[in-house]
A and B are shown apart, each in its own frame.
Chain A
Amino acid sequence: MIAGKMPASMKFLIRTATMFPRSASSTSSCTSSSSISTGRGFRLLALLGAGATGMLGLSGLAYADEAEHGLQSPSYPWTHNGIFSSYDHTSIRRGHQVFKQVCAACHSMNLIAYRDLIGVAYTEDEVKEIAAEIEVQDGPNDEGEMFSRPGKPSDYFPAPYANEQAARFSNGGAYPPDLSLICKARHNGQNYVFALLTGYREPPAGVSVREGLYYNPYFPGGAIAMPKVINDGGIEFEDGTPASASQMAKDVVSFLTWAAEPEADERKLIGAKWIFVGCLLLFQVGHYKRWKWAPIKSRKLVLDVVN
């Protein structure tokens, strides 16, 4: 993030340091005591000290996070990161397939309806077909009985368990969280989910996790109840993309990021347009202000005082 751009204060620091090399190392001998007392050298030392304290303070913050957030996940170069970057809709489509075949067995997603996928990953006819694969319990009919019918686009994604207790019972006491907002609900959501899915490994020497849990350094605490489900060749994509573990993880995270923030594409477009208009308006408003103030700013006051 900071790689390409140096803050102006750092440039100033380096410029003044090279201009006054002796005053920068002013802690050496008594002969340089004069350079400490000079304004420029002292200011430089003070700036360096403040910068060092700031950086040390920040690093302390990062370490404290690991107990709360697990191992810090790397920042992956998602193609939808950035002001002018849209989602990769083909990736969302594949991600939905991964979700349906791998994740939906345990995880619910009860804020997403099938119709939300229209125009995002599938056409309307495709969505009708996908929805029709599930059976939905519907309200009382004219005879007062509940009946079962194939799904419609207006139905929400089905939940694998009837309630939380059933989910906990089937998963050793752990509740598989609903995934509708997981990428917003976890710190550094999309990087975290990708790192978690691909981050299963042998625990380091001396660390053991109890029976029924699995070691994952990215999970806070290190012991997660979910086994490694994303494996090479686990599913077959409809469009024939080779299903490596990282491909599946990347696609499912694209899908989950979309599910958490479906408005992102439109939001970025609106932001771009109206910030641009705002900049134009800035000129207009600035001109208007200066036009109104011109008589006041160009007046001359004459004090005619008689002592």
Chain B
Amino acid sequence: MDQRRRGGFLDTTVRLLTRRNSVYIAFILTGALVGERVIDYGINKLWESRNVGKRFEDIPSLGKKVAEE
């Protein structure tokens, strides 16, 4: 039998993170904070690329009503 199992990338990562519970918790918390910002940014960018020109900020005559006065 192999004494040392050759681990893949995922195997090594999971082992590193779950060995100690403190590391695990820290990973979850920072992962949530950082991950939410990354996912927000990514999906907002996708949304804006799909909806070019339809946003509120893109209205051509914005502010014109007041400016006419």
Q: Does B30 count as interface, using CB distance less than 8 angstroms?
A: no
Q: Which residue on B lies nearest to A238, using beta carbons? A: B61
Chain B: interface residue count, which band?
20 to 34
Q: Does B6 count as interface, using CB distance less than 8 angstroms?
A: no
CB under 8 Å from chain B, chain A span 49-95:
79, 84-90, 93
A86 partner, pick from B39, B47, B60, B63, beta carbons under 8 A: B47
* A169–B46 alpha-carbon span in the complex (Å): 52
In the complex the two chains form, is B51's CB within 8 Å of A84's CB?
yes
Chain B residues whose C-beta falls within 8 Å of the C-beta of A138 in the assembled complex = none
In the complex the two chains form, is A238's CB within 8 Å of B64's CB?
yes
In the complex the two chains form, is B56's CB within 8 Å of A89's CB?
yes
Q: Does B50 count as interface, using CB distance less than 8 angstroms?
A: yes
> B residues within 8 Å of A by Cβ?
14, 35, 39-40, 43-44, 46-47, 50-51, 53-56, 58-66, 69
Can you show 23 pairs from A to B with CB atoms below 8 A apart?
Answer: A84-B51, A85-B50, A85-B51, A86-B47, A86-B54, A87-B54, A89-B54, A89-B55, A89-B58, A89-B59, A90-B61, A93-B61, A120-B56, A122-B62, A123-B66, A125-B66, A126-B65, A129-B65, A238-B64, A239-B64, A269-B47, A272-B43, A272-B46
Question: Could you list 9 further interchain pairs (A-B, Cβ under 8 angstroms) beyond the known A89-B56, A129-B65, A238-B64?
Answer: A87-B54, A88-B54, A90-B59, A123-B62, A125-B66, A129-B66, A130-B65, A239-B60, A287-B14
